[in-house]
Amino acid sequence: MKTKQTTTAPAAPIIHAAELAPAVTPSRAYLTAAVDEASGEVTETSRFRYLPGHPRQIRFDAKAGQFNINGTTPLGPAISFIPLAWRVFHDNILNMGRKLWAELFYADEKGAICAVLFHGYSVENLYRLIEPLFYDDLTLADVVVKVQAEKKETVKDGKKATYFIAQFSYEVADPAEVQARQEFARDFPIWRQETYTGVADARIQHGYTVPTEAEAATEEVEETQQAA
């Protein structure tokens, strides 16, 4: 006598509502997109935070060989970032006399848009980085720039003194991260009010947006209203 056998169909996998939601591509690479399950409305949020004309100030202390935020929060002797804008220029800024400066803008690990300044030998070292990039068909916007404080010694008035200069190296960056920064620089004016005089002698610049007089005046009015 044959025994009748039965088989049980495997249980259907549980599909959560989030898995049913269609994938949404943001309109810009620096944005993230999300869909409201109830309304179907798509919202986009920027990965980067930036108050035009007022990036976070990153300072290089050439006496101590340290980087810091606004002169207070230490960052250590090295930083790395993907530049989204930069310029090399002659100007008298920050009450330091007319010098050759390099100003680079980037997004830090928290998404804050930052600006860092270099002058003197550090600018010459940056040029030494730009040259091999050029022959590799790259720019600073395509790479992760690594900046390391390097100790130097000199003799002044018969006494030995030490100081630091910035040394630069690079590695190729993730193309998606490069695209995000390039699109952000196209959509927003990247500049710093404290270092803008309107009379700078520019050598090279990329992604840096010089505001018009009307835009600069609007910025000042908005700041006054916010402070009131």
> Tens-of-pLDDT digits for all 228 residues of the chain?
555 554 444 555 554 444 555 577 899 999 999 887 787 788 899 999 999 999 999 999 999 999 999 999 999 999 999 999 999 999 999 989 899 999 999 999 999 999 999 999 999 999 999 988 999 899 999 999 999 999 998 877 778 888 899 999 999 999 999 999 999 999 999 999 999 999 999 999 999 997 676 565 555 555 544 444
HSE toward the beta carbon, residue 24, CA cutoff 13 A: 19
pLDDT given at position 218:
57
Confirm whether 210 is domain-assigned.
Answer: no
- Consecutive H or E run containing 147: strand 143-156
Record the tokens describing residue 190, joined without a space.
Answer: 């990247």
Q: 71 near 171, Cβ under 8 Å?
A: no
Pair (30, 118) in one structural domain: no
Pair (38, 60) in one structural domain: no
CA distance 173 to 81: 9
Pair (139, 165) in one structural domain: yes
Pair (27, 61) in one structural domain: no
Confirm whether 1 is domain-assigned.
Answer: no
Neighbouring residues of 182: CB distance < 8 A, sequence distance ≥ 6: 84, 141, 207
Pair (82, 122) in one structural domain: yes
The SS3 call for residue 61 is: strand
Pair (175, 104) in one structural domain: yes
Pair (86, 125) in one structural domain: yes
CA angle 103, 130, 118 (to 5 degrees): 25
Confirm whether 206 is domain-assigned.
Answer: no
Confirm whether 209 is domain-assigned.
Answer: no
Confirm whether 182 is domain-assigned.
Answer: yes
pLDDT given at position 17:
46
Pair (142, 184) in one structural domain: yes
pLDDT given at position 213:
66
Pair (100, 186) in one structural domain: yes
Neighbouring residues of 114: CB distance < 8 A, sequence distance ≥ 6: 55, 56, 57, 58, 81, 105, 106, 107, 108
Q: 163 near 62, Cβ under 8 Å?
A: yes
CA distance 151 to 213: 42
Confirm whether 10 is domain-assigned.
Answer: no
Domain interval for residue 28 = 21-46
Total domain count, the chain: 2
Pair (99, 119) in one structural domain: yes
Pair (106, 160) in one structural domain: yes
Q: Say which DSSP state 195 is in.
A: G
Confirm whether 205 is domain-assigned.
Answer: no
CA angle 69, 73, 78 (to 5 degrees): 70
pLDDT given at position 37:
79
pLDDT given at position 4:
53
Confirm whether 97 is domain-assigned.
Answer: yes
Pair (41, 124) in one structural domain: no
pLDDT given at position 223:
52
